[in-house]
A and B are shown apart, each in its own frame.
Chain A
Amino acid sequence: MKIEVASISGNKEIAKGIWKMDFDCPNIANNVLGPGQFINIKVDPSWEIPLRRPMSIAGVKGEKITIIYKLFGRGTKILSELRPGQSINILGPLGNIFTTSDKDSFPILVGGGVGIAPILWMHNELNIKSVSHILIIGATTAEEHFLQHNPDKNIFLTTDDGSIGELGTVVPTMESKFKEVSSRSFGIIYACGPTPMLKAIHQITTKYKIYCQMALESYMGCGIGICQSCVIERKNDSPEEDSYGKRFSLVCSDGPVYSADTIIL
C-alpha cells in the first residue's frame, strides 16, 4: 500500500458515460496482485469533496494502471475532465483478488455497470493463460457497451432494450450458459456489478449449485480499514452477542472479493 502521484497518459469516453483512464504509477503497479484489487483516487484538490473515490483496476501493463469508470456524480465528473499529462494522487493497491481457477473449471465472468473493470481484467488474464471461459457483460442499452457481441468467441453482451446482443439482464444469458457449461464441468462464476445484479446472480448460482466469487462495490471513507464504514453483512449461523468483525466485514480490507455464499447482499 502506497500513495503515489501518477501521471495520466490517457482518459477518454469509450462508451456512453463509461470512461477509461491510464496512468503511470510504478510503485503501485509493481505491487498489484491481480483482478479484484482497487485503488483510491483523490479527485478534488479542495476539500469540497473530502473523500477519495475507490476504483477497480481494469488492468496493469508494466508501470501503467488502467481503470474503467462510470460517470456517476461530481467526483467522477472531475476525473473525466483530467487530461493526459496531468497528475492524480493514488492510494493503492488495496483489497484482495479473485482466486484463479484451474484450466478445467470453465469459468463464466459476469460484469455490469461499473463492475466491468475487474471482470475485463480477469477476462484478459484468462486469455493469457489460455483458460477457456465465457464473458457476459450487461448494460441498459447498446451505446453503453464498448465490446463487440461475439458468441463465437464466447463474448455475450446483454441490453435491457435488446439494442445489441441478448435482450434482458445478464441472468437469462448466464442460465442458458450454465446448462451448456455444466455438461462440460462444474464451472465457477466471477461477478462484479451493482448489488441488484449480484443478488440475482447469487440466486441463480445457488439454484445451480455453482461456486461464485463476487467483487463488491461499497461506499468507502478511507479504503484502508480505518473508518469502518464499508461493511457487508456476513452469513453467520451462530452470531455472538459481543463480537467485532463476525457479523460485519470491511469490504475495503477483507474484500472486495467474497465467496457469494459467505455474505448477505
Chain B
Amino acid sequence: MVDLSVKIKNVEFANPVLVASGTFGYGNEVSELVDVNRLGGIVTKSITLHPREGSPPPRMVETPSGLLNSIGLANIGVERYISEMLPYYEDLDTNIIMNIAGSSLKEYITILERVEGTSNYLSGYEINISCPNVEKGGLEFGVDCDLTLALTKELRKRTDKLLIMKLSPNVTDIASIAKAAELGGADAISAINTVVGMSINPQTRKQNIFTGFSGLSGPAIRPVGVANVYIIFDAVDIPIIGIGGITSADDVVEYLLAGATAVQVGTANYREPGISIRIIKQLIEYCEKHNVTTIRELVGAIRDED
C-alpha cells in the first residue's frame, strides 16, 4: 500500500495533487464531472475585496504547448465568496485553500480578516502576490523582498490557518523572495505563477491579448517551474507546492524530486477537468513500480541521485 499523504503545517493532504487557483473555478462548477473529494485540495479562484469584471476580451490565446491569459482577476468578491461558496465547502471532504489577491497591504488584510471572522472550513490561504501595489506606484508585491516580508508578517499575525505565499517567476532572485516569505512566517511557498509573455498577430498587427502582456502557463513553462522549485528548496526550510505545466504523474514526480512537497495542476484542467484524479492513480502506479512506500521520500531527492 502506497502512502500518498503529505502534511503541510497541521493540514493533512490525502495526496499531493491539488488544483491551481483560476483553473478550477470555485470548485462547484465541475462537480458534475469530477469527484472533487478525491483531490488533495482545491485552491479557489483569486478573490478580491470587491467583485471584479476582469479585462476586456481577448483574454486568452493558445501558444505552443501553452496558454497566454490575462483575465484581470474577474471574481465575485469576498462577500459573495463568504455567503455563496463557504457553505458549499462545508460539505466537501477535501482541503479548500482560498486564494487572495489585493491591490494594497490593507486590502489583503481586510479580505483575510473578513473570512477569518466567519466560521469556515477553509484549510488555509494562498496569497497571490503577483498583484500591483497601488500604494507603491504599481510595483508588484512579489518582486520586492520588503513588500513580501511585510505582507506575510501582517497576514501571519491574523491567522493560524495554513498561510501559503504564491511566488512569481518574473523576478531576478526568487530565492530571496522565498526567504522573505519564510521570515514573515509563511507555512509554505507555491511556485510558480505564470511567466510574463506576449503574443502578436502578424496578419492584423495587433496584440492577441487585450492587455498586451499576459501570463504564460501550461507544459511550455514546466522546466521553468521545476528550476524555480529546485532553487527555492535550497533557500528555505518550509514546504514548496510546485506549479507549472503538470499533466501527468511523471510531471508530479519531477516537481517532487526537485523539492516540492505537493503540486498544483493548472492549465490541464481546462482541457480535462478530471485529469488530477487520473494523475493520482498514475502516482500510485509509479510508486509501486519504483518501490516508493511513501511519496514523501521523493521530496528533494534529486540531490541524493546527484
Contacts and interface: CB of A to CB of B under 8 A. Distances in A.
Q: What is the predominant secondary structure among interface residues of chain A facing chain B? A: loop
Given A49-B62, A50-B219, A219-B61, A225 B53 contact: no
Contact of B219 (A47, A91, A221, A230): A47
B23 A227 contact: yes
Given A47-B218, A229-B59, A247 B53 contact: yes
A145 interface: no
Nearest to B274: A3
A151 B192 CA distance: 60
B54 interface: yes
A226 B71 contact: no
B94 interface: no
Instruction: State the majority secondary structure of interface residues on B.
Output: loop
Interface stretch (A118-126, A161-169, A238-246): A238-246
Given A48-B64, A243-B53, A248-B54, A229 B71 contact: yes
B51 A243 contact: yes
Given A221-B270, A244-B51, A50 B65 contact: yes
B1 interface: no
A112 to B, nearest CB: 20
Which one of B25, B60, B75 has the greatest number of beta carbons of chain A within 10 Å? B60
Interface string B106-142: 0000000000000000000000000000000000000
Given A42-B272, A221-B69, A242-B52, A226 B29 contact: yes
Interface string B231-258: 0000000000000000100000000000
Interface string A191-233: 0000000000000000000000000001101101111111111
A216 to B, nearest CB: 11
B67 interface: yes
A78 interface: no
A1 interface: yes
Interface in B53-108: 53-54, 56-62, 64-67, 69, 71, 74-77, 80
A228 B57 contact: no
B5 interface: no
Contacts of A49: 62
Interface of B: 22-25, 29-30, 32-33, 50-54, 56-62, 64-67, 69, 71, 74-77, 80, 218-219, 247, 267-274
26 contacts: A47-B219, A49-B62, A50-B267, A50-B270, A51-B62, A52-B270, A219-B61, A221-B69, A221-B270, A222-B269, A222-B270, A224-B29, A224-B30, A225-B29, A226-B23, A227-B22, A228-B54, A228-B71, A230-B57, A242-B51, A244-B52, A244-B77, A245-B53, A248-B53, A248-B54, A248-B56
